[in-house]
């Protein structure tokens, strides 16, 4: 198929030769969330440096490797370390993990990230299920012009909210706004984003979700609110907050991810949630 860079098939081939099979789902682990990779059983670990087409990854808190193994009785492909557009990678590169997962036959995708809270009701440590995306003013899908960005995941988010509630995990929901970064936003930008309808802001995820949609997977984004965005609270922002917020809700987030990937009642694998 021509929707991939040739490197994608080559990377999939390398992975198959190392024992990576068809994943039930794939997950991209955001800043500070890499620990999940350690909870995968019997995992095959492949550093990105061994994968054709993969750039070096440069964000602290990640091992820059792919982990394949079991979560419950599901086969899961976890990407610890992602590529950001602000690091200089074109969007075509930032979606490589999604494409490689698809090339291996995967039909479901979870994408996690650290994000700044814009909604006044949000607190640091909140887990936000992404029910819609704003990605203006830049186009974050590498796809052809004919592709419509149409992540709108209300029903899946409803079902995951029920699943989380049954397990006693509090989640919230909202619209994720993609901002290029690498700097945090100005106060005026955050005010504008709130008026536009954004609940949280981050520098990743939109392109990956759009690519998963284009490749006809079911997909869900989850934001860990690591800080309140510029001007929402009086405190100054710095990167260490991300690590703190991640450790604050780490247990819940890991439990939530495990639930969504492997619970018998998870909606993630229902064919009706695949985009097509």
202 near ligand HPA, judged by CB under 6 A: yes
Under rule CB under 6 A, residue 227 binds ligand HPA: yes
Handedness of CA 141, 239, 168, 194 (dihedral sign): negative
Could you tell me which stretch among 19-27, 96-104, 195-203, 209-217 binds ligand HPA (CB under 6 A)? Answer: 195-203
- HSE, side-chain direction, 13 A CA sphere, residue 194: 19
Q: Is the dihedral of CA 71, 75, 81, 86 positive or negative?
A: negative
**Among 114, 206, 253, 261, interactor with ligand HPA by CB under 6 A:** 114
Which one from 135, 204, 210, 218 is the annotated catalytic residue? 204
- Which runs of consecutive H residues, i.e. helices, occur in the chain? 6-17, 91-94, 96-103, 154-166, 187-196, 206-214, 240-262
| Nearest distance, CB of residue 221 and ligand HPA, angstroms | 13
Closest contact distance (angstroms) between CB of 83 and ligand HPA is 15
Q: Name the one range near ligand HPA by CB under 6 A: 61-69, 128-136, 141-149, 222-230.
A: 222-230
Residue 56, SS3? coil
116 is a contact residue toward ligand HPA (CB under 6 A): yes
Does the protein bind ligand HPA through residue 109 (CB under 6 A)? no
Residue whose CB is nearest to ligand HPA in the complex, by number: 116
229 in contact with ligand HPA (CB under 6 A)? yes
The active-site residue, picked from 9, 87, 92, 189, is 87
208 belongs to the catalytic site = no
User: Which segments of 37-73 are extended strands (E)?
Assistant: 41-47, 65-71
Span of 10-18, 64-72, 178-186, 255-263 interacting with ligand HPA by CB under 6 A: 178-186
Instruction: State yes or no: residue 125 binds ligand HPA (CB under 6 A).
Output: no
What is the distance between the alpha carbons of residues 78 and 97, in angstroms, rounded to a whole number?
9
CB of 126 to ligand HPA, least distance (A): 12
Kindly state the DSSP code that residue 259 receives in the 8-state scheme.
H
- Residue 183 φ/ψ, nearest 5 degrees: -85, 155
48 is catalytic: no
What angle separates helix 154-166 from helix 240-262, to the nearest 10 degrees? 90
CB-based burial of residue 219 (10 Å sphere; 0-12 exposed, 13-18 middle, 19+ buried)? buried
Single residue of 75, 80, 205, 226 touching ligand HPA by CB under 6 A? 226
Active-site annotation, residues: 31, 62, 84, 86-87, 114, 203-204, 227, 239
Binding site for ligand HPA (CB under 6 A): 114-116, 179, 184-185, 201-203, 226-227, 229, 242
């Amino acid at each position: 198929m021509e929707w991939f860079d040739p490197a994608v098939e080559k990377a999939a081939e390398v992975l198959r030769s190392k024992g990576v099979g068809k994943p039930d789902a794939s997950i991209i682990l955001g800043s500070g969330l890499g620990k999940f990779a350690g909870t995968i059983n019997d995992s095959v670990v492949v550093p990105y440096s061994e994968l054709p087409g993969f750039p070096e990854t440069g964000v602290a808190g990640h091992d820059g490797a792919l982990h394949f193994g079991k979560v419950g009785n599901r086969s899961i492909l976890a990407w610890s370390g992602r590529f950001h557009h602000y690091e200089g990678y074109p969007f075509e590169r930032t979606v490589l993990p999604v494409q490689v997962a698809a090339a291996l036959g995967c039909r479901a995708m979870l994408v996690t990230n650290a994000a700044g809270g814009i909604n006044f009701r949000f607190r640091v440590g909140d887990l936000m299920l992404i029910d819609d995306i704003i990605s203006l003013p830049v186009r974050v899908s590498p796809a052809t012009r004919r592709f419509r960005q149409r992540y709108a995941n209300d029903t899946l988010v409803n079902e995951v909210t029920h699943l989380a509630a049954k397990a006693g995990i509090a989640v919230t929901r909202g619209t994720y706004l993609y901002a290029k970064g690498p700097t945090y936003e100005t106060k005026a930008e955050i005010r504008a984003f709130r008026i536009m309808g954004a609940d949280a802001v981050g520098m990743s995820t939109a392109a990956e979700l759009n690519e998963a949609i284009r490749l006809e997977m079911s997909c869900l984004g989850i934001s860990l609110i690591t800080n309140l965005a510029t001007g929402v609270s009086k405190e100054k922002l710095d990167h260490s907050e991300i690590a703190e917020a991640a450790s604050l809700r780490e247990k819940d987030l890991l439990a939530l991810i495990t639930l969504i990937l492997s619970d018998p009642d998870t909606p993630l694998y229902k064919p009706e949630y695949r985009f097509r």
